[in-house]
Amino acid sequence: MEPWVLFSVLAAAAQTMRFAVQKVLVSAALSPAAATWARFLWSWPLAVALAFAYGRATGAEFPEFAPAFLIYAILGGAFQILATICTVSLFSLRAFAVGITFKKTEV
């Protein structure tokens, strides 16, 4: 089996597990926005740490970003957060399969 197949399956399983945990958070009296915020608070430091670890391991320097890139990145992140809130809101309607299907249409 090609390594990318295994990584893709593991990534899909991890994503589904993350949404299942968010569903539990929402059913434990958190709002969809609060559950999404918790996901962001956990993921952001991890992403920054991994980026710095990669840069240190490979010797890559931190690139300079054009203002247009930063605007697109901020807008993309904001819409990603809004889409996640919408998906988690579907979980409160007991529509986990519909929520995951909706999430997969982001391509």
More confidently predicted of 49 and 17: 49
The total number of structural domains in the chain stands at 1
Q: What is the average pLDDT value for the chain, to the nearest integer?
A: 82
Structure confidence at residue 101 as a pLDDT band (50, 70, 90): confident
Q: What is the pLDDT of residue 99?
A: 66
CA 86 to CA 73: how far, in whole Å?
A: 20
Note the pTM of the prediction, 2 decimals.
Answer: 0.65
Q: Range of 36's domain?
A: 3-106
Q: What's the helix, strand, coil split of the chain in %, to 5? A: 85, 0, 15
State both tokens at 26.
Answer: 């929402």
CA angle 62, 68, 73 (to 5 degrees): 65
Weakest mean pLDDT among 19-23, 37-41, 48-52, 78-82: 19-23
Q: What is the pLDDT of residue 32?
A: 83
CA 94 to CA 38: how far, in whole Å?
A: 21
